[in-house]
Structure 1
Amino acid sequence: MSTVRSHVVLGTSLKMYFSHARTLAWAKDVAAILAAAPAVADGRVEFFVAPSFPALPEAVRILAPHPVAAQDVAAAETGAFTGEVSAGELAEIGVRLVEIGHAERRRLFRETDAEIAAKCAVVLGQGMTPVLCVGEPEAGDPSTAADVVVDQVDAALSAALPATTPRRVIVAYEPHWAIGAAEPAPAAYVQETCGIARERLLQRYPGLTLLYGGSAGPGTLTALGDAVDGLFLGRFVHDPRNLAAVIDEASALLDCFTH
């Protein structure tokens, strides 16, 4: 399914790479970059970041009005769950998106489809947007990869979000085998996988935004054309100047689509 791009979404997760001080310094540098970008000012390029939990309140303040995401959330709404953070508290401090189901959470913490679905439900229940990470564990053919993507999205959303409900959901397609790799997955592979998956998913989830992650960097957005709505960026944007370069790339692509 081909689309005419009028809006690009860029996001990143800082995982556990930064200290608290470095996170806030990075956020201030990024806030200045966003303020200086015309395509961000007019809403054509949207950017969000998921810092660590302790940095969330200050990141929300520094980056306002741009959305800030949490890297995880408790599957329960409240209760005796030591060390967990509820969706309600995240919403209370101004968090607007929550990353759910990343490959590392699935692999290292053995998160199941049921847990991921419960997390999506509590996030949607608080009026926040899930950033649902999906992807196949091993390289194969695009049709099989698209089946995995659709199955994972359905497992996460079908109970909490009835079909055709126009609620915004961000799906970050990250082939597990491409995360942290030297190069992103081949553009033709991503284009075909996302094309098949998007056509099927938009019939059920009309508010869906599809991003590509997995070693995404300079040139990735251009290479993918209109196959995705944006990028979920990795360590490349630990240097804010690299984020500025991707915003410039997104702006140039949008100009091409509108002229």
Structure 2
Amino acid sequence: MPPVPAAREKRLVGTSLKMYFDLPSTLRYIDAVSQLSSTASNANIDLFVIPDFITALPSAEKLKNTNVWLGAQDTYSEDKGAFTGEVSPLTLSQAGVRIVEIGHAERRRLFGETDADVAKKSAACVRNGMIPLVCIGEKSKSNIASQAVGMAVEECKPQIMAALSEIPDSAEVVLAYEPVWAIGASEPAGADHVVAVTQALRELVAGRQGRTRILYGGSAGPGTFQRLKDGVDGLFLGRFAHDTKNLEKVIEEMREA
């Protein structure tokens, strides 16, 4: 029987704001998310939010008395040095960041990030006491279901193995699976496809000592988790969650699923 998320694993949900919000609207959003802290905790769900770098410090202040994790959208692989324009993982950790998004398809496509870059950044996160949220996903798409799953696993495996090769086996990691072809789509990838792929990916990390949770990201919204719960531990939400009422609905659905 294919592996499913372990009963002991706490569910996880969060969102990245990318560059959609300006400074005032980001801080208003963080205020609204902070109000969902008890809702998520009561549902046994870890909740995270990833604003831009500029608002990290005021966001940390707003979240300090909550259970909401503060995230960052990227980091550099070195803690200090002559790396103009980069953001230090040490500084992020000191600012209160708990989880760092790494290797999103946009970073790979627009800025040429490689699996090796993602691996080094993952190591930097762990070295500074943060959790790497490693984005993975296949570019290829097939209309033949069994072939599509195999292609997805084949493309995702080296992305995962590269990141894990640079961090201790005991380190906590979050894998955010999102087929590249589903990014920005009006509908998420088919549930059967996502569950089959994430169950196969879970087999790859089953022997790790450290907690390894798998999220689905990609046009996720109401009802998505219910359809995917046999494969994933939670959701990495996009613009749908930029309305915190929608985020609250997802948390409630995950609690009941």
Normalising by structure 2, report the TM-score: 0.92
Equivalent position of 1:154 in the other structure: 161
Corresponding position: 1:168 with 2:172 = yes
Pick from 146, 152, 159: which aligns with 1:145?
152
Aligned partner letter, 1:157: L
Instruction: Provide the C-alpha distance between the structure 1 equivalents of 2:206 and 2:164, rounded to a whole number of angstroms.
Output: 13
Q: Structure 1's 101 and 242: CA in aligned 2 closer, same or farther, altered over 3 A?
A: same
Instruction: Provide the C-alpha distance between the structure 2 equivalents of 1:12 and 1:170, rounded to a whole number of angstroms.
Output: 13
Corresponding position: 1:3 with 2:5 = yes
C-alpha contact 2:220 2:235 (8 A) present in aligned 1? yes
Instruction: Provide the C-alpha distance between the structure 2 equivalents of 1:247 and 1:61, rounded to a whole number of angstroms.
Output: 23
Matched position secondary structure for 1:146: helix
Corresponding position: 1:33 with 2:40 = no
Pick from 198, 201, 213: which aligns with 1:197?
201
Q: Which runs of 4+ in 1 moved over 6 A?
A: none
Q: Structure 1's 204 and 34: CA in aligned 2 closer, same or farther, altered over 3 A?
A: closer
Equivalent position of 2:48 in the other structure: 48
User: Which has the higher mean CA deviation after the structures are superposed, 138-147 or 75-84?
Assistant: 138-147
C-alpha contact 1:73 1:100 (8 A) present in aligned 2? yes
Equivalent position of 1:257 in the other structure: none
Instruction: Provide the C-alpha distance between the structure 2 equivalents of 1:4 and 1:168, rounded to a whole number of angstroms.
Output: 15
Instruction: Provide the C-alpha distance between the structure 1 equivalents of 2:84 and 2:213, rounded to a whole number of angstroms.
Output: 33
1:11-160 paired onto structure 2 within 5 Å: 11-35=14-38, 37=39, 40-42=40-42, 44-64=44-64, 65=66, 66-140=68-142, 141-160=148-167
Instruction: Provide the C-alpha distance between the structure 2 equivalents of 1:229 and 1:98, rounded to a whole number of angstroms.
Output: 18
C-alpha contact 2:5 2:233 (8 A) present in aligned 1? no
Instruction: Provide the C-alpha distance between the structure 2 equivalents of 1:44 and 1:180, rounded to a whole number of angstroms.
Output: 29
C-alpha contact 1:103 1:176 (8 A) present in aligned 2? yes
**CA deviation string 1:15-56 (max 9, x = no partner):** 000001000001111111333x1xx23461111011000111
Instruction: Provide the C-alpha distance between the structure 2 equivalents of 1:209 and 1:28, rounded to a whole number of angstroms.
Output: 27
Gaps of 5+ in 1: 254-259
- Give, in angstroms, the shift of residue 147 of structure 1: 2.3
Matched position secondary structure for 1:130: strand
Number of aligned residue pairs: give it: 247
Aligned partner letter, 2:13: L
**CA deviation string 1:152-187 (max 9, x = no partner):** 0111221333xxx23210000011000110000000
Pick from 227, 245, 252: which aligns with 2:256?
252
- Give, in angstroms, the shift of residue 138 of structure 1: 2.3
- Give, in angstroms, the shift of residue 77 of structure 1: 2.0
Question: What's the Cα RMSD here?
Answer: 1.4
Instruction: State, as a whole percentage, how many aligned pairs show the same letter.
Output: 44
Aligned partner letter, 2:204: R
Aligned partner letter, 2:155: V
Equivalent position of 2:145 in the other structure: none
Instruction: Provide the C-alpha distance between the structure 2 equivalents of 1:172 and 1:205, rounded to a whole number of angstroms.
Output: 19
Matched position secondary structure for 1:181: coil
C-alpha contact 1:5 1:229 (8 A) present in aligned 2? no
Instruction: Provide the C-alpha distance between the structure 2 equivalents of 1:22 and 1:237, rounded to a whole number of angstroms.
Output: 14
Aligned partner letter, 2:34: A
